[in-house]
A and B are shown apart, each in its own frame.
Chain A
């Protein structure tokens, strides 16, 4: 990670490419995000963790050699010999070899089933062992993590994600002994044990023996644990072997000695990251490594930056528990005073360490609720703005609780060293109005992300009102309008805008309100009464407008399954009406080029043949794509087609803030591409895995795993709630991917609402979907049965039989294509 950061930093600074860079990587893959390694068991793929920009190594000046380690350095000749026997010469050599896992000397630590937690290969091996164990004997699997620090708790999370019950053994009397004090450790232990992680403190593993397919670990106190896997996560040691062999200065307890320029005892060789010993210590965190990478890139491009130590403050979410530690967290400064607020009821522990005269903040620990980290950490070493107790008091109303209290030169984003002044200047000078823009302009918030709440507060305190108004007619956003319509039993747009808006609406608010009314089942048909005037042209003609003013017709083909007879009808209709025919990405058939007055006749034929509206024109559930599943496929483990058909029929026609796409795959090969959908279901041997929030399109996103190994009733109930919660709370035209990312608390929060019912609304959500299922009617069949609605389908009110003369086609590859229309005159405007 640090090596890649150095390469990125050098590329940024060395625009003229004075340096030619060769990167030797021991692992067979590009640099990846080790900090978030456990997300690999949460559905992330190796590619999701990749940290290397696609254009990084395509230029000739930057070359990357994977699976080729540096084996020896010849300092006199200035060459490096690689593990493949090649010899490379250098002007400057950068060692970013990182660290290796420390495995305590325990008998049996090298048995099969014992692992370390460092690389993706380690994780693959742990997963394979967990799967072997699950296959051999039934029941819940158990795993032991040796080490209760940051890495150990990450490993425990990984084991939980693999469906195991983790034990954690820590030699110190508390978890995270380097970051957290005794009081914080006690709360941390309690919250982690509530997650079925068994914690053993103040003890160690005496020995591990093999017992058939199982491992038996004996702790120092004699406790015996029956296990499937053991993971050593008891800390790391610098990888300084290469430097030692080359005769570079190495610290007595490990680490390549460097100066403030990151230079080793050989002026042509540098070291950065966890392998380096800087200012009397080795840093085991990524942020100081990044700082060294920036310093070195600056030095190699003529700068004079120095690495004079780094903030080792940290804020993490470990197993869902917020933990933050900053400054002198353990109060080692002489005469330091500790101010503690411990609230075990609301699960929050806060401690500030202040100077003996209680005037300067030295550090602190936050467990359970670390929201104030972004505000407190930049104050370290500075005068306290008020009484320290009020700064961590539950009400949080005291001085210094907002970033407004920070001095201007305080670093709000420590990852990138961005000060409060720089952020405020960017907000006012560039007119930034949201966090995304601040990230883009200043890089603040793009590292660990812990300062994002502070960025939001700075935006607010800069007087930037982040407007949630839908448009000029309503001063609230879609979610609020939904609640208003629901609570006040409003049934028409006129009623709503009279009570809560102004003017007569526009192309933004009218379709949004039409969608809300439809989602709430106010009026059975989208073209009933006043609702007809709210609809976008697509919903108004129940077809998709195309560039020449014609419309396309997409009948529903649930799950992509269609009989030969129905397929023939589609062909006949397309032929008889002269329509262009194309297969869509959602496994159905698009018939294009229909004029408005043709739509009823086309749909009469389709409805008679058993088709119904596919709602391709609506912000609504589109298709549930499926593979052929276990019925036919020799690899399939579940019947994906039947489930896809059932889901599509259940949710057809429901109106939502934006379109909703779904997919069902019958095995892990994922031929239905379900993880690119808003709702993706993938079969497993023991049930279904549910993924949510995926997206293709402009900003592709893989869906996140919400449930695994569930049966159909639980699966459908969860999808019901997901859809309805999204409909109630999303912004206008916000897909589930961005909605999920915008939810405070993200996936965990979503899970708490729709799986654990933390808001107590699950029954309401269930009932809303049930009402939709019961009252569903095909929109096109209803139009064909209603002469008043049919009258709208004319090109000209005074010439109902006349087609629009501007619409013309010419043949292309045996099908019609629109003739492009000449553009009318534009005004010349003097500038």
Chain B
């Protein structure tokens, strides 16, 4: 797997997402309250708009989640599965922190 450096870890606000452009693909990066990193596709499967990085980050039970800012469907940050509609999903990307930098793995 090849890793692309995206930004400094400190550039990510806790419990907020941000979008990155990696090889023409839009990735939504999240840093949760406990410091974990997640990366999913930025496109909202319900509207086609590239906005998931702008959703509200939270939890459902023990699952770390983001809610689409358009119609509030909730996605599992670990798997990309939509928790409100079993037919919808978003892709998941590998993500890690190295020397204070955030890196996303290309598929």
Contact = CB atoms under 8 A, between A and B. Distances in A.
A506 B51 CA distance: 17
B2 to A, nearest CB: 15
A540 B54 contact: yes
A797 B39 CA distance: 13
B55 A507 contact: yes
A824 B48 contact: yes
A796 B19 contact: yes
A547 B47 contact: yes
A510 interface: yes
Contacts of A548: 49
Nearest to B5: A798
Given A797-B29, A798-B7, A824-B43, A503 B59 contact: yes
Given A533-B14, A821-B49, A545 B54 contact: yes
Contacts of B72: 507
B16 A505 contact: no
Contact of B6 (A506, A507, A797, A820): A797
A461 to B, nearest CB: 32
A743 to B, nearest CB: 28
Contacts of A541: 54
B37 interface: no
Contacts of B74: 506-507
B79 interface: no
A530 B45 CA distance: 29
A829 interface: yes
Interface in B7-26: 7, 11-16, 18-22, 24, 26
Which one of B12, B15, B47 has the greatest number of beta carbons of chain A within 10 Å?
Answer: B15
Given A545-B54, A545-B69, A505 B59 contact: yes
A826 B54 contact: no
A506 B59 contact: yes
B67 A827 contact: no
A823 interface: yes
A549 interface: yes
A552 B61 CA distance: 35
A792 B16 CA distance: 11
A806 interface: yes
Interface residues of A, number: 42
B19 A795 contact: yes
Interface string A445-483: 000000000000000000000000000110000000000
A798 B20 contact: yes
A209 B84 CA distance: 76
Contact of B49 (A472, A547, A797, A828): A547
B99 interface: no
A821 B47 contact: yes
A536 B13 contact: no
B92 interface: no
A172 B55 CA distance: 70
A368 interface: no
A235 interface: no
B13 A532 contact: yes
B33 interface: yes
B86 A545 contact: no
Given A506-B58, A507-B55, A796-B21, A549 B49 contact: yes
B78 to A, nearest CB: 14
A829 B56 contact: no
Contacts of B46: 823
Contacts of A403: none
A178 B45 CA distance: 68
Contacts of A505: 56, 58-59
Nearest to B54: A537
A799 interface: yes
Contacts of A472: 60-61
A397 to B, nearest CB: 41
B56 A507 contact: yes
A805 B45 CA distance: 17
A796 B61 CA distance: 30
Given A537-B51, A798-B21, A827 B6 contact: no
A511 interface: yes
Contacts of B50: 549, 804, 806
B56 A511 contact: yes
B34 to A, nearest CB: 9
Contacts of A798: 6-7, 20-22
Interface string A781-800: 00000000000100111110
A669 interface: no
A454 B62 CA distance: 40
Contact of B58 (A507, A530, A823): A507
Contact of B51 (A473, A549, A826): A549
B18 to A, nearest CB: 5
B51 A504 contact: no
Interface in A375-404: none
Interface in A794-831: 795-799, 802, 804-806, 820-824, 826-829
B70 to A, nearest CB: 7
B32 A504 contact: yes
Contacts of A536: 56, 69
Nearest to B90: A824
A819 to B, nearest CB: 10
Contacts of B70: 545, 547
Contact of A824 (B33, B45, B64): B45
Contacts of A511: 56
Contacts of B13: 532-533, 792
A658 to B, nearest CB: 16
Contact of A826 (B65, B67, B87): B87
7 contacts: A473-B59, A507-B58, A507-B74, A511-B56, A537-B51, A797-B20, A824-B45
Interface of A: 472-473, 494, 503-507, 509-511, 530, 532-534, 536-537, 540-541, 545, 547-549, 792, 795-799, 802, 804-806, 820-824, 826-829
Identify the 6 closest CB pairs spanning chains A and B, nearest first. Answer: A821-B48, A507-B67, A537-B69, A506-B58, A549-B49, A507-B56
Given A504-B32, A821-B49, 7 more contacts: A472-B61, A504-B57, A506-B56, A545-B54, A797-B20, A821-B48, A824-B43
